[in-house]
Structure 1
Amino acid sequence: MNPTSAADGHALPVAGGRATAGEVWRLSRGHRLRLTAVGLVGVAGTAVDLIPPVAVGYLVDRVRAGTADPGTVLTVTGVMALSAVLGAAGTAVTVAHATRIYHTVLAALREQLVSRAMRLPQHLVERAGTGDLISRSSDDVTAVADAAPAVIPALTVTAFTIAVSLAGLAALEWPYAAAFAVVLPVYALAMRWYLRTGPRVYRAERAAMSARAQQILESQRGYATVLGFGLAEHRHRAVLTASWDVAVHAIRARTVQSMLNARLNLGECLSLAAVLVVGFVLVDHRLSTVGGATTAMLLVLRLLGPVNQLLFVVDTLQSALASLSRMIGVVTIPVTETPGMPTPPEEPADAAERGTAVRLRGVAFHYDGGPPVLDDIDLDIPAGQHLAIVGPSGAGKTTLASVIAGVHLPDAGTVTRPRRTAVITQEVHVFAGTLRENLTLAAPGATDRDIRAALETTGADDLLDLSADALDTLIGTGGHPLTEAQAQQLALARLLLADPELAILDEATAEAGSAHAERLDRASEAVLAGRSGIVIAHRLSQAAPCDRIVVLDAGRVIETGTHDELLTAGGTYARLWAVWQAGQRLGAGR
């Protein structure tokens, strides 16, 4: 049986029970000695709590025998008070240390989840839906963290209390323990029913939450498209449907919870009745004393609370385990790539001698279930040269850039590229934080002087004037909003600071509009200066200055050469150039 499984053919995998337990055990490394100490303190603390029932039973027998006096009462009261203090201290120490270990392990798991999520192949995330990944790193993490107040006492103090109390009951009079044991099948049947029903219901609830997150995320990301095509009502219905689906599954989960509670109440009633009957018979036959029966009843009453709490918290535990399995399902996805992209193959010796920066041989690629997007691509890019990739919409330009960058792995063929490769796409993201933090993401060691030089080189030094805080100006969410042109300049300055061997600009200046096109083109040229570069050209004016141009159509290279050579050849590029120039003249005449 596979350690992980998927809910369907597209969702990210969910770890099985064995894989989840193995990962938790691995994460507990370094904490196991502390866990042992916590267990010992917990057992000692709950053992002390056995003293009050025994003391009450002792007092009852002394009263019936007529040998009790004020000193006896004071002694019993003092012993009970002292045991209560010691028991509470043991409980506090146990819960506090267990909680600290719990959250330490959860923090380590959360860090692994984020780290692995950043390394997942893009096609895997796209196929599953970004909402699924976001739900696992937010909703599921919250569910596991929020379970701590209920789960930790149940797995520590409550479990110890049950074990110690059962042992004390058996030591007092074995018939009392036998009477309680007779009722245990009621609890066992309740748990059997719940374990068959609960996990399935909670998995469905978490899956519904993921689907809702995906619908909300798509509506937010596609806001402009939703408005442009009048799809607001359609998207509203989609989100509403997903939200109602969550509500239905949540009601089912709460129904299961209520049915479990009813079964636990039945077990409690039967337990008390059984011990009372046994106590009556034993006292009647002088096999036990009234004090002994009183102690037994107090122990059973002391047991019922923890038993119900432990079984009832299984409801919370199942929900947390469902989320934990989804988190570990991501953590245990095999990923051999280094952060950001796959490790490129070693550059062949002959390529190094000729100074080849990028080499593609027989590269083919297709998206899941789709036709080939790239077909038998052979391409060499000499070190230090700039290559433009042009072609009609749908020709495979962005896919080719992604394969070269390592975002997608080719289905066939080989790709060789520099290890230090950076990509800027037309979807530029501004992170919430300071201007300095945004620029040093890929170059943590950059000084303020380096940052200012990069901003000046890319013509983005006006970003320093957004506020009096200069590099400490907050931008992004909650800060100064940036225009599309400013965001693209920021991305170009970030790339300049990263100083890659190969820079890939995938229509990186396409969204800023014609008003800023010339300025952004100059910034792009400054960024590419002195390094190998690939430009996916949205405007053919970006392609013309490049050392070589590749024309792509239907996933194949149909033309290659310099700007002048391709114009002279009178092929596809020449026609694209003529159409583009006509559009420029038309736009200028308006």
Structure 2
Amino acid sequence: MSQVSAALPVASGRETAREVWRLSRGHRLRLVTVGVLGVASTAVNLIPPIIIGFLVDRVRAGTADAGTVLVVAAAMVLSAILGAAGTAVTIVLATRVYHTILAGLREQLVRRAMTLPQHLVERAGTGDLISRTSDDVTAVADAAPAVIPALTVTAFTIVVSLGGLAALEWPYAVAFAVVLPVYVLVMRWYLRIGPRVYGAERAAMSARAQQILESQRGYATVLGLGLTEQRHRSVLDASWGVAVWTLRARVVQAMLSLRLNFGECLSLATVLVIGFVLIDSGASTVGAATAAMLLVLRLLGPINELVFVVDDLQSALASLSRMIGVATIPAEADEPAATAGAGVAVRLNDVAFRYGDGPRLFDNLVLDIPAGQRTAVVGSSGAGKTTLAAVIAGIHLPEDGTVARPGRTTLITQETHVFAGSLRDNLTLGAPAASDDDIQAALDATGAAGLLDLLPDGLNTTIGTGGYPLTDAQAQQLALTRLLLADPELAILDEATAEAGSTHAGLLDRAADAVLDGRTGLVIAHRLSQAATCDRIVVMEHGRIIENGTHDELVAAGGVYGELWSAWEAGRNMNNKAGRTGS
């Protein structure tokens, strides 16, 4: 698979065709039936032009009567009914097969998207994945009304009509065949330009989705840092990029129309000239020439329709290749969970990491986290704490070195998401087999049982978008309870209690203690009171571990942590005095 930059892979044409052929397994008999019905209904539709030519010759010879006209009219009506019925059945069968195959691909896409390694999604940007599972799926599905009639009926019409021309008078078929290279050249031009334009248009849509998503997710940061205008310009620039490529696509369509009009004029002129020559030499009749012209006119519409459908088809194929690119990412892309050895849950050995082409944030980082112990990571902003958590969780892959961690590792950050659905569904995402008793026990352990008393329908209450609104503290309690039910071997809390404010800090700290009890825990602490309760403390600075030990050991050593703790204690004492004075 080809891949642009850090984007998710895009399947090549051969890979796309191979995957569609695989998905068609079990539907191929119906596809053959579609082909047979398409040829038969198209052949029936050739009757009107031929019988009109027959009538013209009878009229010129003076042998036509009322019976001849009635026979011709009856034949035309019967052919129209049979042709329409055959065409309708062909389109219905083709549509059912198309959407069945598309449904299978969509399920495969969603299944693979939900199990993609997090580092792939983070590196490509979630906007890319969202665009493929929304915009691209819509583009492929919306192409059905235009693509299916063309590929199931129009192609048959072209093939059968050329055969009819050859059977009528072979020079007419030769004359039209001489013009076909014009359409071939038009198609070659379009296929050289169209896929690139539509692929760029889809990529621009992904970039726009990423900008919008980042602005929504970072809404609080955008407001807090006064970045509203900057983010507005970023979204506008990305949207303008989509508009530019969309306009280029429309220009390609206009140029395609001009070339097709030229092909039509050339086709009609060629057949007329050949008809005149044949009639003048006595090798054909006016009726045969009339039938040939009607057949050519029947051909021009389908040919133009097929070419314009290729326009829709190219857009759909660009989206289809992007969908298949994600759906067929091999399972080997998932990093297998390694074991760190007896008594050690996490082991980082000479780990190096950088973001993109930037400088290394970590270089030869070494860290062991003993099994069953709770380790806190502290340091100033930008020290590398969150990056360390992401590397241990497997969201980011190290550039060098190895990371060993338990197979069941769960990361919770301060960005807690509440899914639209019932409270029960939200809590059992990681433990679908959990019973209501299990949920109640977990809520009791995290101190969130009181939440049930506030919800009108208990566990069945709809929360999230359009449902009962939860406060930040309640959402974080939900996330911690969800983790407790999932029962991971390693729980990573990346400032998971930071958003609730000091009012609920104690409550959430107790919930975090319950979640980490009896399991290996890594806590990215923003309050030193959290770090003090952990078994070990790791102090980071500029991507390096500068201190490592227990709270008492580090305070006694009088190093960086000791200074941080002294400042923390002084600030807390000052706040306490201010509180007593105010009271």
By the TM > 0.5 criterion, same fold? yes
Contact 1:56 1:291 in 2 (8 A): yes
Partner of 2:430: 442
Secondary structure of residue in 2 paired with 1:169: helix
CA distance in 2, matches of 1:43, 1:37: 10
Q: Deviations over 1:298-342 (max 9, x none)?
A: 21111111011001222111212222222233334455255xxx3
Partner of 1:185: 181
Partner of 2:351: 363
1:206 aligns with 2:202: yes
1:225 aligns with 2:243: no
1:577 aligns with 2:565: yes
Contact 2:377 2:522 in 1 (8 A): yes
1:26 aligns with 2:22: yes
In the TM superposition, 1:551-570 aligns within 5 A as 551-570=539-558
Partner of 1:163: 159
Amino acid at match of 2:338: P
2:300 to 300, 304, 314: 304
The alpha-carbon deviation at position 394 of structure 1 amounts to 2.1
Partner of 1:525: 513
CA distance in 2, matches of 1:548, 1:101: 60
**Distance change (3 Å), C-alpha of 1:461 and 1:334:** same
TM-score (norm 1): 0.92
Contact 2:122 2:395 in 1 (8 A): no
The alpha-carbon deviation at position 167 of structure 1 amounts to 0.8
Partner of 1:109: 105
1:344 aligns with 2:337: yes
CA distance in 2, matches of 1:245, 1:383: 51
Amino acid at match of 1:392: S
1:285 aligns with 2:281: yes
CA distance in 1, matches of 2:75, 2:453: 73
CA distance in 2, matches of 1:578, 1:228: 29
CA distance in 1, matches of 2:284, 2:433: 79
1:400 to 388, 393, 396: 388
1:195 aligns with 2:191: yes
In the TM superposition, 1:220-299 aligns within 5 A as 220-299=216-295
Secondary structure of residue in 1 paired with 2:347: strand
Contact 1:4 1:19 in 2 (8 A): no
Contact 1:121 1:408 in 2 (8 A): no
Secondary structure of residue in 2 paired with 1:431: coil
2:366 to 364, 375, 378: 378
Amino acid at match of 1:45: S
- Choose 174-183 or 128-137, whichever is displaced more: 128-137
The alpha-carbon deviation at position 489 of structure 1 amounts to 0.5
Amino acid at match of 1:344: A
The alpha-carbon deviation at position 494 of structure 1 amounts to 0.6
CA distance in 2, matches of 1:587, 1:109: 59
1:547 aligns with 2:535: yes
1:493 aligns with 2:481: yes
CA distance in 1, matches of 2:234, 2:387: 30
CA distance in 2, matches of 1:409, 1:247: 36
1:412 to 387, 396, 400: 400
Amino acid at match of 1:68: A
Secondary structure of residue in 1 paired with 2:154: helix
Secondary structure of residue in 2 paired with 1:240: helix
CA distance in 1, matches of 2:236, 2:404: 47
Partner of 2:45: 49
Contact 1:466 1:480 in 2 (8 A): no
- Choose 257-266 or 371-380, whichever is displaced more: 371-380
Amino acid at match of 2:184: A
Amino acid at match of 1:377: L
Contact 2:112 2:326 in 1 (8 A): yes
The alpha-carbon deviation at position 253 of structure 1 amounts to 1.3
2:450 to 462, 481, 486: 462
**Distance change (3 Å), C-alpha of 1:10 and 1:413:** closer
Amino acid at match of 1:143: A
Q: Deviations over 1:71-107 (max 9, x none)?
A: 3333332222222222222212221222222222222
Gaps of 5+ in 1: none
**In angstroms, what is the RMSD of aligned CA positions?**
2.1
1:59 to 49, 55, 61: 55
Secondary structure of residue in 1 paired with 2:332: coil
CA distance in 1, matches of 2:483, 2:264: 67
Partner of 2:129: 133
Secondary structure of residue in 2 paired with 1:138: helix
CA distance in 2, matches of 1:466, 1:112: 39
- Choose 453-462 or 126-135, whichever is displaced more: 126-135
The alpha-carbon deviation at position 182 of structure 1 amounts to 2.1
1:4 aligns with 2:9: no
The alpha-carbon deviation at position 503 of structure 1 amounts to 1.4
Aligned length: 578
The alpha-carbon deviation at position 67 of structure 1 amounts to 3.3
- Choose 38-47 or 318-327, whichever is displaced more: 318-327
Contact 2:339 2:345 in 1 (8 A): no
The percent of aligned pairs where both chains have the same amino acid is 74
Amino acid at match of 2:229: E
Q: Deviations over 1:436-458 (max 9, x none)?
A: 11111111111222222222221
In the TM superposition, 1:501-540 aligns within 5 A as 501-540=489-528
The alpha-carbon deviation at position 119 of structure 1 amounts to 4.0
1:70 to 63, 66, 69: 66
Q: Deviations over 1:263-291 (max 9, x none)?
A: 11121122122222222222232222222
The alpha-carbon deviation at position 262 of structure 1 amounts to 1.6
Partner of 2:81: 85
The alpha-carbon deviation at position 491 of structure 1 amounts to 0.5
CA distance in 2, matches of 1:401, 1:235: 28
Secondary structure of residue in 1 paired with 2:282: coil
**Distance change (3 Å), C-alpha of 1:125 and 1:419:** closer
CA distance in 1, matches of 2:519, 2:118: 26
**Distance change (3 Å), C-alpha of 1:463 and 1:40:** farther
CA distance in 1, matches of 2:358, 2:273: 72
Contact 1:46 1:164 in 2 (8 A): yes
Amino acid at match of 2:568: W
1:149 aligns with 2:149: no
Amino acid at match of 1:519: L
Contact 2:119 2:394 in 1 (8 A): no
Amino acid at match of 1:176: Y
Secondary structure of residue in 1 paired with 2:546: strand
